[in-house]
Structure 1
Amino acid sequence: MNDLQRDIAQLIIDTLNLEDLQPTDIPPEQPLFGEGLGLDSVDALELALALQKRYEIQIASDSRDARQHFATVATLAAFVESQRAACAN
């Protein structure tokens, strides 16, 4: 788990009040929805808002691609990195 993945895992814990978890309890490749961490669409909305605020990125709510970015901590980290790189150019 790299620093960004750890930070995103902590953001998930803090945003969704998952007080019993530590960032290391959420493996980077564990699904966040369904059989994985068990998040739902309301959680996804809260998480999207927190990610936008923390990393100063934009997440299109109507994007069909947004769902794939929220699959795991690893995919979220990759998305954040790509958005940061796009904003830097």
Structure 2
Amino acid sequence: MTAQTAAEREMAELLIGALNMTHLKADRVDPTAPLFSNTGGGWGLDSIDALEIALAVQQQYGVELRSEDEQVKPAFASLRTLTELIVSRCA
């Protein structure tokens, strides 16, 4: 597993809580694993989960993730890419 940053762990905790994925432990999530695939340790999420994530991120950080934003779709590739986008928009 790739090591997590503090921001990635915080984001993992947010996602786990928002998606009620209590079987996952935030400190054991590979930040490079794909969010929308079951292979390679992926989370296996779907489009409804993406909406839940967008809502949780907006509530927690005040950052809107809009589908028409060209940076949003690639950001949902992994926990790491999503965290990087959110951190860059909070700065």
Could you state the TM-score of these two structures normalised by the residue count of structure 1? 0.87
Residue aligned with 1:21, SS: coil
Structure 1 equivalent of residue 21 of structure 2: 18
1:61 counterpart (63, 67, 73): 67
Q: Identity percentage over the alignment?
A: 38
Residue equivalent to 2:9: 6
**Structure 1: gaps spanning 5 or more residues:** none
Alpha-carbon RMSD across the aligned residues, in angstroms, is 1.2
CA distance in 1 between partners of 2:45 and 2:70 (Å): 18
Name the CA distance, whole Å, in 1 between partners of 2:28 and 2:80: 14
Which of the pair is proportionally richer in helix? 1
- Which aligned segments of 4 or more residues in structure 1 are displaced greater than 4 angstroms? none
- TM (norm. structure 2) is 0.85
Aligned length: 85
Partner in structure 1 of residue 35 of structure 2: 32
